[in-house]
Chains A and B, each alone.
Chain A
C-alpha cells in the first residue's frame, strides 16, 4: 500500500517513470483477461481493492471485466489497517473504508493492490477476510511486483514485475488521485 499522499515535488525530481500511461492501461487489460481466464468467467467473482490505490485499480479492472463479459462484476473495498502487524510501532493510523458487496462466502475473491513488496499488507488482508466470511478461493492481483518478500506470498496476476533495490521507492500514480497514470521508481527515502 503506497502512501495516500505522495510528495510529488521530491519524487518527480528524483524518480524515473518505468511504466507510462498506455503501458499501464495495457497491463490492466491483460490482467482483466487473466482473471477471467483463471476463473473461467465472472461467476462468483468479487474484486476487493485495498485502499488507497488498490480501490481505484479494482474499479478499473471491474470496468474492463464488465466490458469483456457484458455484465457487471461485484466490487468492494477492504481496509487492513486494524490487521497490520506494525500497528503499534507506528503513530495512530487513519482507518480506511471497508465495503463488502454482500456475502463473500463461497465467492472467488480477488484482492487488488498497487504494489506487492514485503507481502505484509496481503497477509493482513487475508486475516481480515477470515473475519468477513469464507471465500471459496482468494487470489491476488497487483499492478507491480517489486520483489523483496518477507512472507511466503505470491501474486496470481501481475501487471509488471520490476527489479528494484530494497531502498528504492516504487510509486503507482493513478489519474483519479494523482492526475496521470504511471509507475515510477525513485530513491526518495521511505520503503517503497
Chain B
C-alpha cells in the first residue's frame, strides 16, 4: 500500500492486518523501552494545516516509537502564512527527502491532491469534511476489543484474524454527520469489515449525497438505540449552534443526546464510542461518557497503537511502497 487517503483504500485483509498488528503495538506502551526499530532511518513529516492535539501527537509518538524521525510542521508560522501555495510547500518538503507525509488540511480532497504531487507516501489525517481513515481504524480497533471481550465473557474464542467480529453488528453513528469526516471513513471501513452502520441525525445535519452511501438513515435515535451494538456519538460543534442547523441546544439534547435515560435504554452489551473532544451535556451526558461501557478512553489508548500499525504497514517495507 502506497498511500492511506481513504478508508476505502483498505481491503479486508489489509484492514484486519492493521488491527492485528495494532494489538502487538499496544504492548509497546507498557515496555520499559518504548521503541521498535522497524522504521529506523525513515523520515515522517506531520504537516497540519488545522489545529489538532490528539491526532498530531499520536502520529508523532507512533513514528518515534517505531524509530522514524518525525518532524511536525504547523501551518502557522510556516511559509504557508507567507502566501506559499500548498503545492509549493509540499514540493519543497518533498525535495528534502521525506519518506511520508501525515497531512491534515481543512479542504476536502487535499490529501489526495498532495499524493499526486509528491514522491513521498501520504497518510490522510483528516481532510475537511471528507475523511479521517486512521480515526475509523482506531474506532474499529476499540469496537473489536469490545466484541472480543464480550465473546471472552461467554467463553467463546474469537476466530483470530478472520475479521468476522463485525458481521451483523449494528453501529449507530449519531449527531453532526454534515461536518464530520469521521462518519464517512467509518461507513467505508465498516463496508469492508462487515458492520452495519445506521446513521442518526436531524435532517439538517445530514451530508449531501448520504442516500448514495447505502446505509439506513433515520432521525429516530431511540429506535436506532434499541438495536445498536455500538453507539458512536459525534461532537456537536458549539460554534455551529448559531448556524440554524437545530433550534436550541436543549432541543438537540432531547432528540440526539446520549442522555442518562438513553444510556439506561441501551441494549445489554452495547458500548459507547466518541472520537473526542466531547461536549459533556450536549451530545453525550457525563454519565454516558464515564459509563462502564464507554470506550472513549480505550479509543485514545488505541490511537497510538493503530497509527504505529498504519505507519508500519505503509513504511515498513520497500516492496509495496512504490505501488
Contacts and interface: CB of A to CB of B under 8 A. Distances in A.
- A and B bound? yes
Contacts of B227: none
B313 A92 contact: yes
B83 to A, nearest CB: 39
Contact of A90 (B24, B27, B312, B319): B319
A132 B35 CA distance: 10
A5 interface: no
A93 interface: yes
Contacts of A88: 316-318
Contact of A95 (B21, B33, B37, B319): B21
B265 to A, nearest CB: 39
Interface string A49-82: 0000000000000000000000000000001011
Contacts of B32: 131-133
A98 B316 contact: no
A90 B317 contact: yes
A43 interface: no
A40 interface: no
Interface in A24-43: none
A54 B111 CA distance: 43
B37 A91 contact: no
Interface string B17-50: 1001100110100011101111000000000000
A77 to B, nearest CB: 11
A88 B38 CA distance: 9
B320 interface: yes
A67 B32 CA distance: 33
Contacts of B319: 89-92
Interface string A96-134: 111000000000000000000000000000010011110
B37 A83 contact: yes
A87 B37 CA distance: 10
Q: Which of B20, B24, B31, B36 has the most CB of A within 10 A?
A: B24
B163 to A, nearest CB: 14
B316 A87 contact: yes
B318 A79 contact: no
A131 B31 contact: yes
B20 A89 contact: no
Q: In this complex, which of B27, B316, B319, B320 has the most chain A Cβ atoms within 10 angstroms of its Cβ?
A: B316
Interface in B232-279: none
Nearest to B1: A92
Contact of A92 (B27, B33, B317): B317
Contacts of A82: 36-38, 66, 312
A137 to B, nearest CB: 19
Contacts of A89: 317-319
Interface string B56-82: 000000000010000000000000000
A88 B41 CA distance: 11
A91 B31 CA distance: 27
Given A87-B317, A97-B24, A98-B27, A92 B35 contact: no
Contact of B317 (A91, A95, A97, A131): A91
Contacts of A91: 317, 319-320
B305 to A, nearest CB: 12
Interface in A129-172: 130-133
Contacts of B37: 82-83, 127
Q: Which of B32, B66, B320 has the most CB of A within 10 A?
A: B32
Nearest to B25: A95
A192 B136 CA distance: 41
A91 B318 CA distance: 7
A92 B318 contact: no
Interface of B: 17, 20-21, 24-25, 27, 31-33, 35-38, 66, 312-313, 316-320
Q: Which 8 A-B pairs have the closest CB atoms?
A: A131-B33, A82-B38, A82-B36, A92-B317, A88-B318, A91-B319, A95-B21, A95-B24
Given A96-B24, A132-B32, 12 more contacts: A83-B36, A88-B318, A89-B319, A91-B319, A91-B320, A92-B319, A93-B316, A95-B24, A97-B24, A98-B24, A98-B27, A130-B33
Interface of A: 79, 81-83, 87-98, 127, 130-133
